[in-house]
Amino acid sequence: MMEQPSKTLGTQSLAMNANLTASPSAARSRTLATISDQLERLAMRVADDVARYADAKAGSAGAGFVIYYLTDNSGEPLKTTNAGDFGISLDDIQRTSGYAHLSSYCEELSLSLRIDEHYYADEPRPTKIYRVVVDGWN
């Protein structure tokens, strides 16, 4: 099982930090669109990543997984704190078209998909990062 190194999945054209100056609903919509785009791009690479790690034969059968980190425009992990500043929750992320597409694609490949909130820090406020986990291959 290999944890995918943090790679910038954020788009250059939609800067989350620039959203701070927009109206709250417009900033929220743009931020969700950016997250959805990241999930769409994962759908284009997940099959290759799974094949590469499955061929590595690491771990026990049926226990393979790949982890991707959702990122902000600076390449840093997307945190519950900065997403929360836009009023975005895990449920909101899971309702995006990008998540729906990635989820159906994983189902076609008989893989499991989930987004979890992984502990990141307690200071200056409790923070978790959003991770996309694809698993369940033999």
Q: How many CB atoms lie within 10 A of CB 6?
A: 16
Q: Which domain holds residue 21?
A: 2-137
Q: For residue 71, what pLDDT is reported?
A: 86
Average pLDDT over residues 15-39: 77
Average pLDDT over residues 23-50: 90
Number of domains in the chain: 1
60 confidence band (pLDDT: 50, 70, 90) = low
Q: How far apart are CA 93 and CA 15, in angstroms?
A: 17
Residue 87 has pLDDT above 70, yes or no: yes
φ/ψ bin of 53: left (φ > 0), alpha (ψ from -120 to 50), beta (otherwise): alpha
Residue 7 has pLDDT above 80, yes or no: no
Residue 19 has pLDDT above 60, yes or no: no
Amino acid 30 reads R
Q: For residue 63, what pLDDT is reported?
A: 63
C-alpha to C-alpha distances, 113 to 34, 103, 121, 131, 135, nearest whole angstrom: 19, 6, 24, 11, 7
Two tokens at 32? 């969700």
Residue 115 has pLDDT above 80, yes or no: yes
DSSP string computed for 56-70: TT-SSTT-EEEEEE-
58 confidence band (pLDDT: 50, 70, 90) = low
Residue 96 has pLDDT above 70, yes or no: yes
C-alpha to C-alpha distances, 102 to 16, 18, 63, 73, nearest whole angstrom: 22, 27, 20, 21
Question: What rounded mean pLDDT belongs to the chain?
Answer: 81
